[in-house]
Structure 1
Amino acid sequence: MIFDIRTKEKNEETEISEKKLQSLIVENFNLFFPELKIIKSEYAIKGNVRLFGMSGRIDILAYNPVENNLVIFELKKEHSRNIVIQAIDYSDFIEENLELIISRIDELSIEEKKIVLQLNKPPKIILVANSFYHPTIRRAKRLTNEISLYQYIYYSNQLLQFEEIKDNSKIKERIESISYSSESLDHIPRIVEIIKTIIGLDLLNERYYKIEGRKLTVNQSHLFKSYEKYYSGKGMDFLSKMDFVKSIKESNRYIGSSKGVRYKNNNTSGIIINGS
Structure 2
Amino acid sequence: MIKLYSTSNKKILEIVNKSEAELNKFISQNWEAFFPQYLFIKSEFSVEGNVRSKGTSGRIDILAFNPISNKFVVFELKKDKDKNIRNQVSDYKDYIEDNFSQIYLMSLQKYKAPLPLFDKISQDSIEVVMIAKSYSSTDIERVKKSTSKNLTTLIRYMWFENELLLIDYINNDPDDLIEKENAEKLKKIKNIIENKKSLYADVESFLFGKEEAQRLFKIFYEALNKIGKTKLLVQASKIKVELNNQTFSVIGYAGKTGRKCYLVINTNIDKVIDLGKIVDDRVRPNQKKKGSIGSERYEVFLTTEQELMKFISIIENSI
| TM superposition score normalised by structure 1 | 0.54
Give yes or no for the alignment of 1:153 onto 2:158. yes
| Equivalent position to 1:100, from 99, 102, 111 | 102
Q: Identify if the C-alpha distance between structure 1 residues 97 and 116 changes in structure 2 by more than 3 Å, giving closer, same or farther.
A: farther
Query: Matched residue of 2:88: which SS?
Result: helix
CA distance in 1, matches of 2:114, 2:157: 35
In the alignment, structure 2 segments of 5+ residues that lack a partner are 173-319
Identity %: 34
Whether the 8 Å CA contact 2:131–2:155 is kept in 1: the answer is yes
SS at match of 1:6: coil
Aligned residues of 2:40 and 2:65 also touching (Cα < 8 A) = yes
Q: Which residue of 1 aligns with 2:142?
A: 139
> Cα deviations across residues 76-108 of structure 1 (Å, max 9, x unaligned)?
011132344234312222123323321222345
Q: Which portions of structure 1, spanning 4 or more consecutive aligned residues, are displaced by more than 4 angstroms?
A: 108-111
Which amino acid in structure 2 is aligned with residue 136 of structure 1?
Answer: D
Q: Which residue of structure 2 aligns with residue 163 of structure 1?
A: 168
Question: 1:128-159 deviations in whole A, cap 9, x for unaligned?
Answer: 00111112213333263610000001111221
Structure 1 residue 57, shift from structure 2 partner: 1.1
Kept in 2: contact 1:37–1:65 (CA 8 A) = yes
Kept in 2, the 8 Å contact 1:75–1:128? The answer is yes
Aligned-CA RMSD value: 2.4
Q: Judge conservation of contact 1:149–1:164 (CA < 8 Å) in 2.
A: yes
Distance of aligned partners of 1:48 and 1:2 in 2 relative to their CA distance in 1, 3 Å threshold: closer
- Rounded Cα–Cα distance in structure 2 between residues aligned with 1:121 and 1:67: 12
Q: In structure 1, what is the equivalent of residue 123 of structure 2?
A: 120
Output the amino acid matched with 2:164: L
TM-score by length of 2: 0.47
Q: 2 CA distance for matches of 1:73 and 1:45?
A: 15
2:306 paired residue number: none
CA distance in 2 between counterparts of 1:59 and 1:111 reads 19
Superposed CA offset, 1:8-51 (max 9, x none): 13212222221111111111111100011111111113225432
Distance 1:57 1:88 in 2: 16
Q: Is contact 1:61–1:71 with CA below 8 Å preserved after alignment?
A: yes
Report the Cα offset of residue 53 of structure 1: 7.2
How do 1:1-276 and structure 2 match up within 5 A? Answer: 1-52=3-54, 54-105=56-107, 106=109, 107=111, 112-114=116-118, 116-117=120-121, 119-141=122-144, 142=146, 144=148, 146-166=151-171
Determine the C-alpha separation between the residues in 2 that align with 1:64 and 1:30: 14
Structure 1 gaps of 5+ residues are 168-276
Decide whether aligned partners of structure 1 residues 67 and 98 sit closer, same or farther in structure 2, where only a CA change above 3 A counts: same
Question: Greater Rg, structure 1 or structure 2?
Answer: 2
